[in-house]
Amino acid sequence: MEKNGIKVLIVEDNAMNMMLLRDILSIQGYEIIEALTGAEGIRLVAEQSPDIVLMDLHLPGMDGITATRILKADERFRGIPVLAITASASSTDIEEILCRGFDGCVTKPIDMEILLGEVRRFTAGASKDSH
Ligand code: MN
16-46 confidence digits (pLDDT tens)? 999 999 999 999 999 999 999 999 999 999 9
Distance 104 CA to ligand 1 centre (A): 17
Asked if 77 and 46 count as a contact pair (C-beta separation under 8 A), the reply is: yes
Distance 14 CA to ligand 1 centre (A): 5
Predicted TM-score (pTM) of this structure? 0.91
Cβ-in-10-Å burial (0-12, 13-18, 19+) of 82 comes to: buried
87-114 tens-digit pLDDT: 766 788 878 878 789 999 998 889 999 9
Distance 1 CA to ligand 1 centre (A): 29
- Output the pLDDT for position 123: 96
In order of their start, the domains of the chain are: 7-123 (3.40.50.2300)
Distance 20 CA to ligand 1 centre (A): 13
Distance 130 CA to ligand 1 centre (A): 31
**Residue 17 DSSP label:** H
Asked if 126 and 50 count as a contact pair (C-beta separation under 8 A), the reply is: no
β-pairing, 104-107 vs 52-56, is: unpaired
- List, as ranges, residues with CB under 5 A of the ion ligand 1: 13-14, 56, 58
